[in-house]
């Protein structure tokens, strides 16, 4: 007998018609993602090639975080500052103001990169990890390909002045998503509003975070600004509000004010025009299914992954979840056996489906018990 259980999520959902067509931001290229569902809410020339400028530094931090997690690097480890790194602290670029011969900890270099956007700190970290900045850039590009950033090439650790340092806002979004997902504790550095470094041979230097959204009541907790004369202003940003996170990336803002205002506008638009709906959490039982000839009468089921859907607001619709399976399921059943499908239906149309898996083993009854169960069924119709 084919069974289908229909679960209606009792939410009043509003549907916007042609939302993207009615909305725009003053950027050459931009993208907005709902982090938990992974859905793209807005995009504008998102695959157009850009110079990522200081947004490059997100990958510089990721390489260090990877090595720290593997045990090949520690926050307390110190790197010797070369003349090559020092030159970037005295050439008008954003810097941490390190000096030749300084020994600076990895943690201070990371804070100098993330908070103060120090180009000098990028080179010092790159040289300390890979020997040369060129070798470090090879590591960065390899990591980008691993993440799925297929339109990115990193030529240096800072993002300054290299025509071969190329990416897209979609790739920067993928990188930002990876950073937040893989390194939630380390990501907290990106929310820090200032960094004080007790430098060698001078008074402590305190610098503020360059991300303008951190100073607004928006819920922003990252990520990274960028500027190059040829690219103008850019920003990878993220907000978290009431358990929901959005990631936005824009490039080609004409002014600093545009970068701040339009990025906030994009994030606010995503928060107010869409609802995030939790369907199920990974590895959490969601339904008991009848079992035939098993030592248990039912088996719990689950989905391997978290499932969230982002639903546009405006016109009332119902999002429905349908559990479809042929039941009762005959024992034996092994954990992770596919027992059916979980289907997502929106406005009467199937939008996605997932394997419905057994949460536990269910052993088969012995011969005598199976016989009695079968006789009982024939007489009473009871499974």
CATH code, domain with 371: 2.60.410.10
Q: What's the pLDDT score for residue 201?
A: 72
Our measurement of the distance from residue 47's CA atom to the centroid of its chain's CA atoms, rounded to an integer in Å, reads 18
**Do 90 and 183 belong together in one domain?**
yes
Confirm or deny that 224 is annotated as ligand binding: yes
Q: How many CB atoms lie within 10 A of CB 133?
A: 22
H/E stretch holding 187 reads none
CA 249 vs CA 27, 32, 158: distances in Å: 10, 7, 18
In a domain, 233, yes or no: no
Write out the two tokens for 276: 């995030």
DSSP three-state, residue 282:
coil
374 included as an active-site residue: no
Of 121, 110, 106, 48, the C-alpha closest to 76 is 106
Q: Within a domain: residue 194?
A: yes
Place of tokens 């006789």: 375
Same domain, 8 and 48: no
Based on the fold, state whether residues 51 and 128 are members of the same structural domain.
yes
Q: Which two tokens stand for residue 175?
A: 């990188």
Q: Tokens 């020997």: give the residue.
A: 131
54 is catalytic: yes
Last residue of a domain, one of 214, 231, 262: 214
Structural domains in the chain (count)? 2
328 within domain boundaries = yes
Q: Are residues 200 and 288 in the same domain?
A: no
**Active-site residue among 44, 57, 143, 232?**
57
Residues of the domain holding 74: 44-214
- Which residues lie below 8 Å from residue 96, measured CB to CB, with a gap of 6+? 89, 108, 109, 112, 113, 116, 118, 120, 121, 197, 205, 207
Q: Which of 82, 117, 176, 238 is catalytic?
A: 117
Report angle CA 240, 243, 247 to the nearest 5 degrees.
Answer: 35
The one catalytic residue among 54, 89, 95, 167: 54
Q: Which of 214, 235, 251 is the last residue of a domain?
A: 214
Same-domain status, 209 and 323 = no
In a domain, 58, yes or no: yes
Q: How far apart are CA 172 and CA 149, in angstroms?
A: 8
DSSP letters for 335-366: TT-EEEEEEEEETTEEEEEEEEEESS-BPBPP
Q: Do 206 and 90 lie in a common domain?
A: yes
Structure tokens at 234: 């850019």
- Whether residue 159 sits in one domain with residue 110: yes
Mean pLDDT by 10 residues, the chain (383 residues): 41 38 90 97 97 97 98 97 88 84 95 96 97 97 98 97 96 98 97 90 88 95 95 97 96 97 97 92 93 91 94 72 91 95 91 95 72 54 54
Say how far apart CA 305 and CA 109 lie, in whole Å: 36
Residues 179 and 287 both lie in one domain: no
Contact 248, 261 (CB under 8 A): no
CB 30 within 8 A of CB 249: yes
Report pTM: 0.88
Rounded CA-CA distance 344/351 in Å is 6
Q: What is the pLDDT of residue 366?
A: 66
**Residue 76 shares a structural domain with residue 202:** yes
């Amino acid at each position: 007998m084919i069974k289908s259980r229909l679960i209606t999520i009792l939410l009043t959902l509003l549907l916007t018609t042609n939302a993207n067509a009615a909305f725009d931001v003053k950027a050459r290229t931009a993208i907005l993602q709902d982090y938990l569902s992974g859905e793209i809410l807005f995009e504008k020339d998102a695959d157009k090639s850009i110079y990522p400028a200081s947004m490059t530094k997100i990958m510089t931090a990721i390489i260090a975080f990877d090595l720290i997690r593997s045990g090949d690097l520690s926050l307390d480890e110190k790197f010797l500052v070369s003349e090559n790194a020092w030159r970037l602290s005295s050439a008008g670029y954003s810097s941490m103001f390190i000096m030749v011969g300084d020994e600076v900890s990895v943690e201070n270099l990371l804070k100098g990169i993330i908070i103060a956007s120090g180009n000098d700190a990028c080179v010092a970290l790159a040289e300390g990890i890979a020997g040369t900045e060129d070798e470090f850039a090879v590591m960065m590009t390899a990591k980008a390909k691993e993440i799925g950033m297929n339109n990115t090439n990193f030529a240096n650790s800072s993002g300054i002045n290299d025509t071969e340092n190329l990416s897209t806002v979609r790739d920067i979004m993928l990188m930002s998503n990876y950073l937040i997902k893989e390194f939630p504790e380390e990501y907290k550095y990106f929310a820090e509003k200032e960094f004080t470094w007790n430098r060698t041979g001078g008074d402590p230097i305190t610098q503020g975070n360059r991300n303008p959204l951190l100073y607004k009541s928006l819920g922003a907790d990252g990520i990274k600004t960028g500027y190059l004369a040829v690219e103008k202003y850019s920003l990878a940003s993220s907000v978290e509000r009431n358990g929901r996170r959005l990631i936005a990336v824009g490039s080609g803002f004409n002014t600093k004010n545009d970068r701040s205002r339009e990025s906030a506008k994009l994030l606010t638009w995503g928060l107010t025009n869409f609802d995030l709906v939790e369907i199920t959490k990974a590895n959490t039982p969601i339904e008991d299914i009848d079992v035939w000839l098993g030592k248990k009468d039912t088996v719990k089921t689950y989905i391997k992954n978290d499932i969230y859907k982002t639903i546009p607001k405006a016109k009332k619709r119902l999002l429905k979840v349908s559990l479809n399976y042929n039941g009762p399921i005959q024992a034996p059943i092994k954990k992770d056996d596919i027992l059916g499908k979980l289907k997502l239906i929106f406005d009467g149309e199937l939008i996605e489906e997932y394997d419905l898996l057994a949460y536990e083993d269910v052993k088969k009854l012995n011969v005598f018990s199976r016989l009695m169960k079968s006789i009982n069924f024939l007489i009473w119709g009871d499974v």
